Structure 1
């Protein structure tokens, strides 16, 4: 092996990190962050314009994360049969197509058409996440893999903040809340007003299309390392199929537990971010959607800060212990957000995002580590991306709880229970680590 040159090890990791390629892969993380945070804005808008229940409005997240679930394994197969780069380019192209579908959706003014556009975006993002998360791990020496994915994931909240800001200024307007404005209109005026508001959704997605095309061109023209395990390339099991991979991985107890925990975590994160804006309007009916979006932006700032705090703590202390403590604090904070009937509850919901910082990359990295046979890595990564379906399930459950309780605030009991499970998981992981050392 030549000193100073970037070469692939037998397990698919590189001996040295290629800086430019790693930066470009890391740029993908804020791109899917922007799409996800725009959903939180759309939920509030669609609920009023289409006169939806909390349960029905949550189907924005179901369409979005359902696309992730359905396409994660095909994306993994695409990585396996071709390359990480081609899968990323495919994902970017589908993301662009989904954004472009907002043009007909905004003119047709039907909820189903918007959900279809979000579903296509999510299929593209499934390609991006399935490839980029694992690719970030592999783009350098194995011993620094968890640090690389944590650094890449640090840029997710920057994209999320950007998406929320775009939603605030381009989708929402000044004046009273949408509900208040529409309450004084007759049927014809309300229909015309709703159509005008829906057409405002196009602007953020036009901006995204321009950025996505530029990034896609960079991935097409710049050379990227394959990062494929040697034994998979050289052995007959290079044609490994879904059934064999799933059969093998399903027998791995540590991997199964990690996937379930990622499912619960994604549900937790998505419910809090989906309904923070609605919580603000519920607790303080005197504010409008544009002002309430500030709390969504504050949440992503808190998440960003939390990532840096967590990165520092994880370099000094046991990850399982830190995540267990974070989860216990999260349970207390969300219980407060659920039960205290004043504005401080909104700030509690915002603060809890600080505690989300280390969750996704730590669960992802540690669950992948439990897969000892490198030929199953792509499928293991895909199944972990499939666990994002938690983001489709939990918001619907919380929306249903809000309708049953007649209170958006009380429905925050749902993400609180998610944090209870995560605390139990990291306690068991910490206990298992102690036992294995003895």
Structure 2
């Protein structure tokens, strides 16, 4: 039976294979579930292990540090083998990381949990390095940005599922953990901590079952390779991942270089805001517990989904760079409100800020890859995933700022600065597109 799609020489397809695209898109909510659970774990671990804001943010440092470490091996595997093989390896590491939560809960040490989170991130690095690029390739080139935006639209669904799992399976009813532990003896606190850590296991049991089923689908269903076919006489096939030549090329492309910076800041900004949304609610209203505070994360992920859906609709009519520029400006206003207004109303601003984060990641990713030659695509994809390390850095900086100032809302100036630079990035992209259009028009006129 012949396929309904055919692969072109540049790796793109004549038509999108629906089943394969759906299965590949299912990976997006799966890695966002793990990301959302980190926001729950930061709050849980801060109370259970009595950590500072900075120390609790090391959850994100371990998580995004894993992305950084494994991005290059993932790109090498993707180039030498295939997107599907890379996805299978990613699913395997994801399962291993989830399983490590079991010994971590019994050892009851913060460092062991960080090891488990790091292992999960190793798997997610393989998944994101392959799936983001694969999403752009599974169909005609002119719809590549639309496809990755469509796939990324499902990440908020994973975020919502992750925070719901955390709210109902990890967080418990009653007073906040800090309030309950304040009334206990040291011995009672020890056993209470052990009980609370057991609750962290339940979501990861569910995730493991889903991952194993998805692993079987990717192992036994045929997927297109989507690899460019290169003329043997062309120097393109001699490209080596992360050789000096490759690095000089990538960093020599100005628009790709700026895209790397924007991705670094975007992930740092998003991780910082979401990591401390629950903590901000608990600080601004000491009468609520962790379950109630988690509601603000649930709403944040819902409006994040809405923001991305609206942006996806606008992308068919308006320049992506213009849409994202306005989104970024609005996001800056929301974060500025949090910094300047010291009352509970900042919770509405932090929720609203998530609307304007929505389309940032997929648009920066797709636009940046379009600026490099096809033979450098795997290296560029790995570099974009490595830039996610911003998520390891900025939550820790925000936590440190909150510890130093003693005012959580003031520390949100860190993501505000990030969002401002991202707005500048999209403004420069608008100008670059306008300049390119003028040059193209002059060239066509001269040829005529």
Pairwise TM-score range, normalised by the shorter structure: over 0.9
Query: Is residue 423 from structure 1 mapped to residue 423 from structure 2 by the alignment?
Result: yes
CA distance in 2, matches of 1:389, 1:133: 16
Query: What is residue 95 of structure 2 aligned with on the other side?
Result: 96
Q: How does 1:239-258 map to 2 (within 5 A)?
A: 240-243=240-243, 244-258=245-259
1:157 aligns with 2:189: no
Superposed CA deviations along residues 326-373 of structure 1, whole A, max 9, x for unmatched, are 1111111111122222222111101111001111111111000101x2
Which residue does the alignment assign to 1:335? 336
> What is the aligned partner in structure 1 of residue 131 from structure 2?
132
Which residue of structure 2 lines up, in the alignment, with residue 316 of structure 1? 317
Whole-Å separation in 2 of the counterparts to 1:361 and 1:233: 33
Q: When the two structures are aligned, how many residues end up with a matched partner?
A: 436
Instruction: State the alpha-carbon separation in 1 of the partners of residues 230 and 94 from structure 2.
Output: 33
Q: Distance in 2 between matches of 1:127 and 1:234?
A: 31
Partners of 1:177 and 1:154 in 2: CA distance: 33
Contact 2:82 2:225 in 1 (8 A): yes
Where do 5+ consecutive residues of structure 1 fail to align?
A: none
Answer yes or no: is the 8 Å Cα contact 2:33–2:160 preserved in 1. Answer: yes
| Corresponding residue for residue 269 of structure 2 | 268
Residue 426 of structure 1, CA deviation: 1.2
Instruction: Name the SS for the 2:408 alignment partner.
Output: coil
**TM-score normalised per structure 2:** 0.95
Counterpart in the other structure of 2:382: 382
**Match of 1:350?**
351
Instruction: Give yes or no for contact 2:325–2:426 (8 Å, CA) kept in 1.
Output: yes
Task: Flag structure 2 segments of 5+ consecutive residues without an equivalent.
Answer: 439-448
Check if 1:361 corresponds to 2:359: no
Q: Which residue of 1 aligns with 2:393?
A: 393
Distance change >3 Å, CA 232–CA 186, structure 1 → 2 = farther
Please give the root-mean-square deviation of Cα atoms over the aligned residues, in Å: 1.5
Aligned residues of 1:368 and 1:380 also touching (Cα < 8 A): yes
Do the aligned residues in 2 keep the contact of 1:303 with 1:355 (CA within 8 Å)?
yes
Check whether the contact 2:239–2:375 (CA below 8 A) recurs between aligned residues: no
CA contact (8 A) 1:30 1:159 kept: yes
Is this contact kept in 2: 1:34–1:161, CA < 8 A? yes
Q: What displacement does 1:138 show?
A: 0.4
Q: Secondary structure at the match of 1:263?
A: helix
Q: 1:347 to 1:102 in 2, by over 3 A?
A: same
Q: Which residue of 2 aligns with 1:77?
A: 76
Asked if structure 2 preserves the Cα contact closer than 8 Å seen for 1:72 and 1:386, the reply is yes
Deviation at 1:235, TM superposition (A): 5.8
Are the structure 2 counterparts of residues 232 and 202 from structure 1 closer, same or farther at C-alpha, using a change threshold of 3 Å?
farther
Greater mean alpha carbon deviation, residues 97-106 or residues 8-17: 8-17
Q: 1:212 to 1:80 in 2, by over 3 A?
A: same
Q: Which moved more, 1:182-191 or 1:242-251?
A: 242-251
TM-score w.r.t. the length of structure 1 is: 0.97
Match of 1:284 in 2: 285
